[in-house]
Amino acid sequence: MRSGALPGVRGERLSLDDYRRDFRRGLWEVGAAEFWKIERTQVFVERGSASYDAFARGEWERALELIREDLPRQREYHDRVAARGTRRRRVRVVEQPLAPYVLWELNLLRQRSGLGEPVRVLEADRIADRERRERLPDVVGFDDRVAYQVLYTGDGVPVGAIRSTEREQVLGWRGVFEELYAAAEPLVDYFDRRLAGLRP
């Protein structure tokens, strides 16, 4: 992949609560044709997820069971978003060896992809040239209207975001997303080829 890279998103710093409010407004009040996401961080803390809590306790089979039990809620959320005409797309960058968190998350995303959320996986070595100077941030956006760089502690705890509505910047980051997405592999194919039955 090409070696050029944008710096991090430049704009307004938002607290975690302000970011979540702004995100919900963009999704449910303003409306968007598409929500897109570049996910690069390898370890997150997923507060409020019973499956993640089981995973964090080392209860792998229980974590997978809870993902399956959450299917009705996930389907209801997907249907609500789809009813508003919003498409969701995500590219998940993964490093080898696979972090236990990423393995857990890919099991979760495998289920979501079955509901119609397009998710693709890209091995980190495919973007080594792009990341020669600095690692890609985690960036999400709505259409060409707004982009957020989501900020985390070193342990993967979300602490807020940087928000930009500057058109050139948003278009630049959406272009990065499209490039990564085009180079990535559909999650279902990657999962069946590399991850089926794998444990942390």
What is the pTM for the complete model shown?
A: 0.94
What domains appear along the chain, each with residue ranges and CATH number? 12-195 (3.30.870.10)
| pLDDT one-digit tens code per residue, 17-56 | 999 999 999 899 877 899 999 999 999 999 999 999 999 9
In this prediction, residue 6 has a pLDDT band, given cuts at 50, 70 and 90, of low
Question: How far, in Å, CA of 31 to CA of 143, rounded?
Answer: 10
Question: How far, in Å, CA of 166 to CA of 97, rounded?
Answer: 37
Return the pLDDT at 187: 98
Strands 185-186 and 119-123: antiparallel
- Asked if the bond preceding 97 is cis, omega within 30° of 0, the reply is yes
| pLDDT one-digit tens code per residue, 54-82 | 999 999 999 999 999 999 999 999 999 99
